[in-house]
Structure 1
Amino acid sequence: MIIKVLEVGPIMANCYILGCEETKECAVIDPGDETDRILLALAESALKVKYILNTHGHFDHVGGNKKMKDATGADILIHPLDAPMLNSLSASAANWGFSADDSPAPDRTIEDGDTISFGNITLKVLHTPGHTPGGVSFYTNGNIFAGDTLFQGSIGRTDFPGGDYETLISGVRNKLFVLEDDVNVFPGHGPATTIGREKRFNPFFR
């Protein structure tokens, strides 16, 4: 399995390229910005994008959807509760003093328990709301891509529209902390961690 991490955009969101070494099919998780850099990283490994996967609908994670789809033709997948956010990214970014392109509508919406396959990789969708109503995490083979749900030593903000603290805490406990301790957590911002580390040391769960 190929995993590439790029910090993109002014808010330094993590974009992940997850690729199959045998078939060279891949998914791009959260192409928030700097699409040219993402495309260069794809070209360096000769990867073909099958899916553009959105963990949630905030502009710093999905602001590159349009350019990535225009360049690759890949399908955009997002949870239906966050799908309406895609057509107002430019306005959302402007509120922060930034710019982003509105995203095309999703080619498909994804729900808790769905699976997404490309090459020899299968991701399981875990609905982990709280940061946004339609926030999801993607799990495969000892790795969880958690968006802005869980960070090293912290959690996602819940003071944005649609956020809910108790919902986020419950989702982490019931969807993420039931995974093995050695599962790698790849968050939407900041360094990677593990489930075991966060269960032991994250101050929000002591």
Structure 2
Amino acid sequence: MRDTPQAPQWDMLPGALDTAMLAFTRRPGVLRCNTYVLCTPHHALVVDPGADPAQTRTVAAMVSGLLRDAPRQATLCLTHCHLDHCASMDVLHGALPEATVLCHSEGAEALRRADPDLTLAGLTALRVPALPDVLPLFQGPGPAGVPRAMDTPGGGLRSLSIPIGPRDALQVYHTPGHSPDSVCYRVGGALFAGDLPFAAGPGLVRLPGWNGAQLAASLEKILWLLEHCNVSTVLPGHGRALERGEARRVMADILADLRGRGAIDTPPPGGALPGALLASCAALLTEAALPAPAKADPEAALPAALPGPEAMPGLHRRAARLAAALDRTLDAAAPGTGGTDPAAHAVRRARRRLGDLLCALHGFRFADHAGPAEANQTVAGLLAELSASGRFAEVALSFAHAASAPVARMDAEALADLVETALEAYKDAGAREARVTVRTEGPCVVVALCAAPGGPELPETLAAYLRLSMDAYGGAFEAAPGRCTFAMPRAGEDR
């Protein structure tokens, strides 16, 4: 289970006349982002180069091919200057030296200064790229055009219009809040929203530049835009695309949360989920018995318990460094050491949980951007992997699938990991058989585990971790002696 981009394919953008898109989408996380390549007869655009050099080299090769096919202007468009969206920009610009870079003027200045706070270099442990020449947006009249204020609630939405094809234009909207330089891009009915759909709060580490009042105003304006400008799809910086109805619900929920806070710029107290994720990461790393480099870095070692809020930035940096070390370990793994290798399997699970931990520390809401996951396929794949590994040789595993092939709004990797965690606990408690059932119950998809009615109970600390994790993904977990259930909203169901 590795955070790799889904295989991209070209599609015409909804509502556009001349623009096709190739999307590299990632599971929700704060060290990698989605990258979108747009192609028109006269332009090739990349929205958010990201922080994965391997992916960026693939993007560079594709854009170079487009430029060879026909004379086109290459443009690199940043939604904001956080390094998970642009750390590999110099790799892309090195392959496309004639490309124009679009970035809000404040973000361009933060990158030029290598500002450790506004770029999040101090929290993500990512390198600030060398900045090429930038076309600053919203810096008064200039080559990008003259900003105008659209008549929207909460004050005018500042916008720019940049022609990119015979019949299409790139609309740019200034949407501060997640960061002061955040912008959204729109082509036809597709809105590239960066991290706007995630930025529910300041995070436990109080992200530099986060502004709750500005974020609330930006969300209100974008909700108006969804209603009045024929936007049909919202393409976020992380996770899957959202159709208009779901995007409206997600952003309206974030706006309601912001308005419900007594002081919307105050970080919430440290919650239980980060602590539970941290403890579970430590257990997996112990199980993996990692060799260098992951355990050789003393700064990467995580404490056994979550420290107080004053220590959060240091924890965040150590977690990010450890995630990067695990990535290097996985990249260096010999081919074929996939799910059948227990140590590599534990490393992948720990890496995914570290990603969730960083999301929680940032204050990101990742439940709405996960999935969809076909429950039968996810559970069947997990059980086949467990059987092949030999770790459950003493346990008779059986599976009853749902006839309807239900699709849940859930991260498939997270679901498999949580089910595996419960099965491991039952095995360790002495269970010698376990049946997994997938079924639907009204608007929910349910995965039920039965080790033995009245049999071993899950440790309360583990049950609390499973409950908190399911809640973070918009689902629910319940446990009774010898059995437990994971319930998730069905894809397409509004809450």
| TM-score bin (small chain) | 0.7 to 0.9
SS of residue matched to 1:170: helix
Q: 1:204 aligns with which of 226, 230, 254?
A: 254
| Cα distance in 1 between the residues matched to 2:30 and 2:236 | 17
Q: Which residue of 2 aligns with 1:195?
A: 244
Conserved? CA contact 1:3–1:16, under 8 Å: yes
User: Structure 1 segments of 4 or more deviating over 6 A?
Assistant: none
Letter of the structure 1 residue corresponding to residue 58 of structure 2: R
Which is helix-richer, 1 or 2? 2
Q: What letter matches 2:217 in structure 1? A: S
Q: Cα offset for 1:70? A: 2.5
CA deviations over 1:50-94 (Å, ceiling 9, x no partner): 211111011111222222222221111111122222125595436
| Alignment-derived partner of residue 234 in structure 2 | 185
Letter in structure 2 aligned against 1:135: S
Q: Which residue of 1 aligns with 2:49?
A: 31
Q: Quote the Cα distance in structure 2 between the aligned partners of 1:148 and 1:177.
A: 18
Structure 2 gap segments, 5+ residues each:
1-18, 139-146, 148-157, 257-495
Conserved in 1, the CA contact under 8 Å of 2:219 and 2:255? no
Q: Within 1, Cα distance between the matches of 2:32 and 2:90?
A: 19
1:102 maps to which of 124, 130, 150: 130
Superposed CA offset, 1:132-177 (max 9, x none): 1111001121110001111xxx436543111112211221111344
Match of 1:53 among 69, 77, 82: 77
For the pair 1:70 / 2:88, whether they are aligned, the reply is no
Distance 1:138 1:77 in 2: 11
- C-alpha spacing 1:80/1:6, structure 2 compared with 1 (3 Å): same
Q: Which residue identity is paired with 1:107?
A: L
Percent identical among aligned pairs is 26
Structure with more of its chain in strand, by fraction: 1
Distance in 2 (alpha carbons) for counterparts of 1:178 and 1:24:
27
3-state SS of 1:134 partner: coil
The more displaced of 96-105 and 191-200 is 96-105
Q: What is the CA distance between 1:196 and its match in structure 2?
A: 2.0
Structure 1: gaps (5+ residues):
none
Decide whether aligned partners of structure 1 residues 137 and 182 sit closer, same or farther in structure 2, where only a CA change above 3 A counts: closer
Cα deviation for residue 49 of structure 1 reads 4.9
Aligned residue for 2:440? Answer: none
CA contact (8 A) 1:90 1:102 kept: no
Query: Aligned residue for 2:214?
Result: 167
Counterparts of 1:121-160 in structure 2, within 5 Å, are 121-150=168-197, 154-155=198-199, 158=202, 159-160=206-207
Cα contact 1:6–1:14 (8 A) shared by 2: yes
- Identify if the C-alpha distance between structure 1 residues 156 and 87 changes in structure 2 by more than 3 Å, giving closer, same or farther: farther
Deviations 1:85-113 (A, max 9, x none): 21255954364233342322413434532
| Cα separation, 2, equivalents of 1:87 and 1:61 | 15
Partner of residue 80, structure 1? 105
Kindly indicate whether residue 143 of structure 2 is the aligned counterpart of residue 115 of structure 1: no
What TM-score comes out, normalization by structure 2 length?
A: 0.37
Deviates more, 1:121-130 or 1:194-203: 194-203
The TM-score normalised by the length of structure 1 is 0.83
Q: Which has the larger radius of gyration?
A: 2
Cα pair distance change 1:59/1:49, threshold 3 Å: farther
Quote the offset at 1:39 in angstroms: 1.3
- After alignment, is 78-87 or 34-43 more displaced? 34-43
SS at match of 2:248: helix
Taking the TM superposition and a 5 Å limit, the aligned residue runs for 1:6-21 are 6-7=24-25, 11-20=31-40
How much does 1:24 deviate? 5.3
